[in-house]
Amino acid sequence: MYALSQALRSLRQHLTSTLATFFTALVSFSLLFLLGLVLWNLDRVVASLERELEVAAFLKPEAQATAILNEIKTWPEVSEAKLQTKEEALATLQLDYPYLAQAREFIQNPLPDTIRLKLTDPQQVREVGRRVARIEGVDSVEYGGALTEQLVRVLAGLRVAVNILIVLLLLDTLFSVMGTIRLSIENRREELRVMQLVGATRRFIQGPFVAEGTLLTLAAGLVALGLGVVSYRFLAEALQNLLPFVPVLAEGDLIRAALAMLVLAVLLGATGAYLASRANLREADL
């Protein structure tokens, strides 16, 4: 209780520095939380696309479909393979375009037999597609990996840029906390000297400053969580209305992200305050 009461007193005494550090941490944590949620959501989108990714091998009319299917099923890269006959393909197409059923009696089915396969590792889609195309009896191969590959590359670049930004924001917050603690120590220099003379330990003297830094970043983290959750839910709702098939983070995911943010805020504030108090509470200075 002593450390907490002294920390609150120090925060009130130098209000300008306190507010400067609070808003610095607030901006950092808000950006960190929101950008982290967006990247996490993009990971979910890419993972969803990869799960739906498949290779379609269109067979020539004279191809031995069953033999080709059995060969492909033995490949370790393939998790699932099935044959879709041209009749089944036409029936599926008619479900999407009912007017084709009216012309069924007047035209010959132009669709080929197709082998559709899913992979254990979607990253191998290009390699497997080329391997399938070399099988005798396969006319052509299609796969939807191009868009997924582009998204993965974009996501990797975004992750690097965001990580750099996050590191800079956290360092800014850390040094801001250290500056505030240093100012608190300077304001209480005489009081601290007396405390040391009467036998107070270094850890006892450092306690209020560590509590001060922790309170600052924890308060900023809590406000940032509120702003981040509201902003993300607004963006997620707008995205779901526009693209209902795109996955968004569940409530449990937001709770885990919030807990991780609070732990980071506490660690950052306590670490900054400890480093600043350790550097400015040398015995020669008191």
One domain, residues 135 and 162: no
How many C-alpha atoms does 187 have within 13 Å on its Cβ side?
17
Nearest residue to 85 (alpha-carbon basis) of 105, 59, 108: 59
Q: Which residue has the higher pLDDT, 3 or 237?
A: 237
Domain ends where: 143, 173, 188?
143
Q: How confident is the model over 37-55, as pLDDT tens digits?
A: 888 888 887 777 767 778 8
One domain, residues 246 and 201: yes
pLDDT for 20 beyond 60: yes
Other CB atoms closer than 10 Å to residue 136's CB: what's the count? Answer: 9
| Gap between the Cα atoms of 131 and 111, Å rounded | 22
Contact 261, 221 (CB under 8 A): yes
What single string gives the DSSP state of each residue in the chain?
-HHHHHHHHHHHHTHHHHHHHHHHHHHHHHHHHHHHHHHHHHHHHHHHHHHH--EEEEEPTT--HHHHHHHHHT-TTEEEEEEE-HHHHHHHHHHH-GGGGGGTTTS---PPPEEEEEESSGGGHHHHHHHHHTSTTEEEEEESHHHHHHHHHHHHHHHHHHHHHHHHHHHHHHHHHHHHHHHHHHHTHHHHHHHHHTT--HHHHHHHHHHHHHHHHHHHHHHHHHHHHHHHHHHHHHHHHH-TTS----HHHHHHHHHHHHHHHHHHHHHHHHHHHHHH--TTT-
CA dist 252 to 209, 256, 259, Å? Answer: 34, 6, 11
One domain, residues 232 and 218: yes
One domain, residues 63 and 185: no
One domain, residues 183 and 269: yes
pLDDT for 121 beyond 90: no
| Gap between the Cα atoms of 159 and 102, Å rounded | 51
17-22 mean pLDDT: 82
Tally of structural domains, the chain: 2
Hunting for tokens 């009749």 — which residue is that? 87
Q: How confident is the model over 132-142, as pLDDT tens digits?
A: 888 888 888 88
One domain, residues 154 and 179: yes
Domain ends where: 87, 114, 143?
143
Q: What average pLDDT does the structure give for the chain?
A: 80
pLDDT for 84 beyond 80: yes
Helix axes 15-52, 251-280, angle to 10 degrees: 140
Q: Which domain holds residue 268?
A: 2-49+149-280
| Gap between the Cα atoms of 281 and 205, Å rounded | 9
Q: How confident is the model over 152-208, as pLDDT tens digits?
A: 677 778 888 888 888 888 888 888 888 888 887 777 777 777 777 776 677 777 778
**pTM over the 0.85 mark:** no
β-strand pairing of 114-119 with 138-143: unpaired
